[in-house]
Structure 1
Amino acid sequence: MIKHKLFFLIFSLGTATVAQAQFDPTSAGYKLVWQEEFENSGQVNPEFWSFEKGFKRNNELQWYQEPNATVKDGKLIITGKREQLNNPNFDPDSKDWKRNRKFAEYTSSSINTRGKYEFQYGIMEVRAKIDTSMGMWPAIWTLGISKPWPSNGEIDVMEYYRVKGEATILANAAWADEGQYNAKWDNAKIPFTDYLKKDPDWPNKFHLWRMEWTEQSIKIYLDDELLNEVDLARTINPDGFNPFHQPHYILLNLAIGGNNGGDPSKTIFPKEYVVDYVRVYQK
């Protein structure tokens, strides 16, 4: 059963009180076709989600493991911890960063629906609260089911990390460029200070990220504000394949440090990335 959702925001404007309607996908002819409400307490539902394990990408500091993702009080909680973990793949002579680290200094979780739920076109909504401390790199994203990255296509509905040292909210899409592992990007980068100026308490609140995906475009919204619109006539790989004309699966993760997260060494842990729900609507 869907949790009650408030479709009207009440705020003061001078002496008047104004009701502002939030976008409702069902009012635009969409039907709810998949939902994860995180209703059951304990472990993440294995019928919906799989886990990444170990070191994965971007020189990130965290070791991904299952215990850091739990469900409590109707919410998914991904916890980033500062704790030392032996790297079972350690090789001091390796040039691979995933192998030449003797220890992981942090742990977290990354979950995905690959092979369990995939969709092509529609609206995806994720209500979440992110921790914006130094070193945190939470994300809501999708990947295409066929071809290796970036030929499979990546949609970053939400990323929060440091761009040239400045805290930033991002909404992106990536596809293949010439050369192996080279990507073309359509980025939107909004300084996080823009949100703090509007609401100093922003990090302590839940916010709604929405992706509207059609054959023609991908639009990414945050609290009904359009952040980025990607023209899918442009997103063609060198081999002619359009990775956004195939099904994608959903990923939720909290990375720490790495290429973009910032230095977490002075940050107080544990940290929590909390997701209230994930919903997919289609016409």
Structure 2
Amino acid sequence: MLKQSLFYFSFTLGIVTTATAQFNPTGTDYKLVWQDEFDQEGKVNSEKWSFEEGFKRNNEVQWYQKENAEVKDGRLVITGKREQVKNSNFDPESTDWRRNREFAEYTSSSINTRGKYEFQYGIMEVRAKIDTALGMWPAIWTLGITKPWPANGEIDVMEYYRVKGEATILANAAWADEGQYNAKWDDAKIPFTDFLQKDPEWPSKFHLWRMEWTEDTIKLFLDDELLNEVDLARTVNPDGFNPFHQPHYILLNLAIGGNNGGDPTYSAFPREYAVDYVRVYQK
């Protein structure tokens, strides 16, 4: 694994110069502007990342907590565990699923850069090894900094979950439709068997997810294969606001179960979602 600065030669007016620079995915137009290489062992860097806590969305069964994310061997490791945790927000009279569950039976982590790093347009690359066991729902995604979901805009650089029971890799964008919490989606759903047919060892390897975001389009790649291209002329909310013409922040999480993850009951635990690096380039 090569994560350090690369040695390169640049030729200027016939004179050879040497320097160190990060790998640049598209040539000299783009420069590395933000990164986390996860090279410092121990806790996740709190200057770059914040944590979600508790039950959050999609009827997922995990309780998010800091303890399940750590940096080791040069990688962020988010661990899904089967363990019972008391719901500190428990209210037996509540109709909200986040409050009427007395216990969580699973734990995991979700980290994000909200308020610490946001960007508008550019290239984001994330090298990761996802967990593909039944019940796992790993994701690399972004959310816009203003307006409630889905009017803020969501970009799913990577999601993995069950679609009608079939393991699937997804690359999506969502924005507001008429009515509260109704979303329009531009989504690509690729059966996971397509990747396994090309490489039966796919789940045991790291892969590169890339988003190329301009004022006009969002292109989502996996290992340099274009999975989805979103035309931003179409992604306009009913009030005329385009949520992909505003800064977004980054989220990395491992959800379990819920609306899409599948039943984790018969999967062996712990599970691991590993991220080698996150890099953002801009012109």
**Normalising TM by the smaller chain, what interval?**
over 0.9
Aligned counterpart, 1:132: 132
Shift of residue 245, structure 1, vs aligned partner: 0.1
Aligned counterpart, 1:246: 246
Amino acid at match of 1:247: P
**Pair 1:211 & 2:177 matched:** no
Shift of residue 89, structure 1, vs aligned partner: 1.2
Contact 1:25 1:31 in 2 (8 A): no
Aligned counterpart, 2:260: 260
Q: 2:24, 2:161 → 1: CA distance? A: 29
Structure 1, residues 184-213: CA drift from partner, whole Å, max 9, x if none?
000000000000000000000000000000
**TM-score normalised to the size of structure 2?**
0.92
Q: CA RMSD in A?
A: 1.3
Using a 3 Å threshold, how does the CA distance of structure 1 residues 198 and 5 change in structure 2: closer, same or farther?
Answer: farther
SS at 1:190 equivalent: strand
Structure 1, residues 59-109: CA drift from partner, whole Å, max 9, x if none?
000000000000011100000000000111111221110011110000000
Contact 2:24 2:32 in 1 (8 A): no
Q: 2:250, 2:61 → 1: CA distance? A: 22
Shift of residue 27, structure 1, vs aligned partner: 1.3
Q: 2:248, 2:99 → 1: CA distance? A: 30
Q: 1:202, 1:268 → 2: CA distance? A: 19
Aligned counterpart, 1:10: none
SS at 1:203 equivalent: helix
Aligned counterpart, 1:94: 94
Aligned counterpart, 2:56: 56
Shift of residue 3, structure 1, vs aligned partner: 1.3
Contact 1:34 1:279 in 2 (8 A): yes
Q: 1:31, 1:184 → 2: CA distance? A: 33
Shift of residue 5, structure 1, vs aligned partner: 8.4
Q: What's the % identity of the aligned pairs?
A: 82
Q: 2:26, 2:93 → 1: CA distance? A: 56
Q: 2:5, 2:78 → 1: CA distance? A: 23
Structure 1, residues 214-251: CA drift from partner, whole Å, max 9, x if none?
00000000000000000000000000000000000000
Contact 2:24 2:31 in 1 (8 A): no
**TM-score normalised to the size of structure 1?**
0.92
Q: 1:74, 1:24 → 2: CA distance? A: 20
Aligned counterpart, 2:280: 280
Q: 1:131, 1:37 → 2: CA distance? A: 20
Q: 2:194, 2:138 → 1: CA distance? A: 18
Q: 1:276, 1:116 → 2: CA distance? A: 20
Contact 1:176 1:183 in 2 (8 A): yes
Aligned counterpart, 2:159: 159
Aligned counterpart, 2:190: 190
Amino acid at match of 1:42: G
Contact 2:62 2:256 in 1 (8 A): yes
Gaps of 5+ in 2: 7-22
Structure 1, residues 120-176: CA drift from partner, whole Å, max 9, x if none?
000000000001000000000000000000000000000000000000000000000
Q: 1:106, 1:179 → 2: CA distance? A: 33
Between the two proteins, the alignment pairs up a number of residues equal to 266
Contact 1:255 1:261 in 2 (8 A): yes
Aligned counterpart, 1:173: 173
Aligned counterpart, 1:14: none
Amino acid at match of 2:42: G
Amino acid at match of 1:57: R
Aligned counterpart, 2:74: 74
Aligned counterpart, 1:105: 105
**Pair 1:143 & 2:151 matched:** no
Amino acid at match of 1:252: L
Q: 1:87, 1:202 → 2: CA distance? A: 36
SS at 1:25 equivalent: coil
Gaps of 5+ in 1: 7-22
Q: 2:28, 2:195 → 1: CA distance? A: 28
Q: 2:74, 2:80 → 1: CA distance? A: 19
Amino acid at match of 2:213: W
Q: 2:149, 2:40 → 1: CA distance? A: 33
